[in-house]
Amino acid sequence: MYSKSFSVAILLALYLNAASAATTYKETDHAMVARRLVHQTNWAAISTISTHRKLKDYPMVQILSINDYDAKKQSTGRIQFLLTNLDFTGKDVKQNNKVSLLFNDEQLLHCSEQNLDPMEPTCARTIISGEVKRMDENQKDYQEALASFVARHPASQKWLDKHNFYLCELEITNIFVLDFYGGAHNIKPDDYYKVEL
């Protein structure tokens, strides 16, 4: 159906594309990808195990405003957020504090701007799992962390004033990064925290 020279040209093009992709794949700093996604996004999807009577033991998903800034607006990698026992997430975490957070490059429309579907592996995402820890208001850095959160999310001041929200941090136990073809990469939390942005 096709000429021999045309078939050879097609095979050569496929080989070069694969070789180029492999080079990109090997050079990607996956810990850096995770840190950038966490730092650039203002929110994440959080999954918990539901305690609601209609969804008991099913996964529940919710939107969570997050902050990884210090007082100087520098990335720390520490994922902090507000919770209240008045909503699904707060109630679920009180029963089982193990959660997963999803960060995706499409949250800032970076993928659609390149005509990439958010489900494409090249639309970078990271799934960070861990245990939610309520921060101690007597900790040395608590007020600084709270002020940093409110500066990034001004609406949260109303939540604190009216709905008994409290500041939490994710104690990270596992990180998966998918940013290219070939499957997800497992990143050590220590390597994630070592990244400098």
pLDDT at residue 22, as a whole number: 33
Is 76:70 a contact under the CB 8 Å cutoff? yes
Is 108:193 a contact under the CB 8 Å cutoff? no
Supply the DSSP string of 80-144, one letter for each residue: EEEE-TTSHHHHHHHH--EEEEEEEGGGGTTTGGGT--TTSTTS-EEEEEEEEEEPPTTSTTHHH
Q: Is the pLDDT of residue 12 over 90?
A: no
Distance of CA 116 to the CA centre of its chain: 19
Q: Both tokens of residue 12? A: 């050569």
Give the residue from 187, 60, 62, 63 showing the smallest Cα distance to 125: 187
Q: What is the pLDDT of residues 161-183, one digit of tens each?
A: 888 899 999 999 999 999 999 99
Q: Is the pLDDT of residue 19 over 50?
A: no
Q: Both tokens of residue 60? A: 């529940």
Is 109:82 a contact under the CB 8 Å cutoff? no
pLDDT at residue 140, as a whole number: 84
* CATH number for region 30-194: 2.30.110.10
Tell me the three state secondary structure of residue 46: strand
Q: What is the pLDDT of residues 88-126, one digit of tens each?
A: 999 999 999 999 999 999 888 888 898 989 899 999 999
Residue type for position 137: E
Alpha-carbon distance of 11 to 144, in angstroms, equals 58
Alpha-carbon distance of 97 to 130, in angstroms, equals 8
Q: Both tokens of residue 72? A: 């100087």
pLDDT at residue 162, as a whole number: 85
